[in-house]
Amino acid sequence: MNARVAWVIVPVLMLVGCRGSSGGNQALPTVVLESNGAPQAEATGAPQALTSGGVSASGVVIPAQEAQLAFAVAGQIDRVTVGVGDNVQAGQTLARLSGGEALQAAVSESDLSVLKAQQALDDFTSDPSWKMALAQAQSDLAAAKDELRVATYDRTVNQPGYRASTLTVESAEAKLVLAKQALDRAKSDYDHHANDPSDDPRRAAALAEYANAQTAYNSALRTVNWYKGHPTELQQSQLDAAVAVAQAKVDEAQQRVDKLQNGPDPDQAALLNGQLASAKDQAAAARAQLNQLELKAPFAGTVGTLLARAGEWVSPGQGVMAIADLGHLRVETTDLSERDVPAVHVGQSASVSIKALNTTAQATVRDISPLADTLGGDVVYQTTLDLTSVPDGLRPGMSVDVEFLGGG
């Protein structure tokens, strides 16, 4: 078990070979004291219930974070930009695979496509031409409505049930009689001069009067026939078709007006937005491929080991280097017994004795593993502590003894 932060960087880098929870230390048998203080068994270095009510355990100093880094794809290492002991920042490029030039060109091309798609969308949304299109659509709608009105009226007045009054019909017939009488007089007058020379003024006047009388008679006859007539089956079909066509024009014009009423054509806007989204997806994919060639630090820390060099071929997941956060150190217990863990709780203070430095530091319990492990035949629970003070010279891997203060 390991209570520290586990880092997994996907897809650019992978973390492998995390430090084991035991740190290589072997737990010793737990010593249980009788009520008189005499031990039941001889042992040293094991967690021990103190006469003061405290609990102790062995432990080891660990970095707050540590990870072994690897590429997610296979390739030849082009360069390694850091060495052992170098301090690195989160996101810093530590190593790079070859082949980046072609991918960088693809990224640049896809970025240009994004810019072009964005510009096309911006130009479309800012173009005032849609207002002109809206005005034209509104004009077409008005014309279509007028055409429908005329076609509807024509069909209505030509139906058998739509008839003029008797007085209107008789008036039309009277006008036809008078027009016929005027036509007869004009024809008789013309007949007297029909053989006169064509340039004779009397013949010309008679001809003009005759022509006007004929026109007036024809008009009067049409009026009477219209008032008395009924549309044929063909005429009725033509009237109905004219209304249907006019109505279709109105519907089409109304749809165009509705589409343009609230701005530019939404269909065109949707198309341009789709093209922009597609360009962005392609750019993201190209950038992701390029990023896979770079190994970056997942957190600020120090390079501990280099496992591969420039020019070497690496497989996906193969360790390239290990880094650790040496600026933030913790303590991890290795043998806190199941009999003692009930006396420990998160936030509890502890005293840490650092053997190599012959000094003591203060700490607080950060977390207690909910799962047990077995070491040396005992059931133990790994516990992590945050150091509230870090002595000079403290390094990961140093052995410590932890005394949990205050009991449970």
- Averaged pLDDT for residues 201-205: 87
**CATH assignment of 21-64+328-408, given 2.40.30.170, 2.60.120.200, 3.30.565.10, 1.10.287.130?**
2.40.30.170
> Which region among 53-62, 125-134, 272-281 has the lowest average model confidence (pLDDT)?
125-134
Residues 6+ apart with CB under 8 A from 264: 124, 125, 127, 130
Percent of the chain beyond pLDDT 90?
38
Q: What is the pLDDT of residues 18-77, one digit of tens each?
A: 443 334 443 333 333 333 333 333 333 333 433 345 799 999 999 999 899 999 889 999
Mean pLDDT of the residues in the chain: 81
Is the pTM higher than 0.75? The answer reads: no
What pLDDT score was predicted for residue 258? Answer: 84
Residue closest to 310 by CA, chosen among 24, 82, 61, 150: 82
pLDDT higher than threshold 50 for residue 124 = yes
Residue-range domain boundaries for the chain: 21-64+328-408, 101-127+265-291, 129-260
Retrieve residue 44's tokens: 């040293």
Choice between 233 and 319, residue whose per-residue pLDDT is larger: 319
Place of tokens 């630090």: 297
**For residue 119, what pLDDT is reported?**
86
Least confident residue range of 3-7, 109-113, 376-380: 3-7
pLDDT-derived band at 361 (thresholds 50, 70, 90) equals very high
Q: Per-residue pLDDT averaged across 202-228, rounded?
A: 85
Fold classification of 129-260 (topology level): Four Helix Bundle (Hemerythrin (Met), subunit A) (1.20.120)
365, containing H or E segment: strand 359-368
What is the model's pLDDT at position 199?
84
For residues 236 and 229, give the distance between their C-alpha atoms in angstroms, rounded to a whole number.
Answer: 13
Distance, in Å, from the CA atom of 330 to the CA atom of 389, rounded to the nearest integer, reads 10
Would the pLDDT of 221 be above 80? yes
Is residue 172 pLDDT above 70, yes or no?
Answer: yes
Distance CA 53, CA 139 (A): 95
Higher pLDDT among residues 54 and 218, named by residue: 218
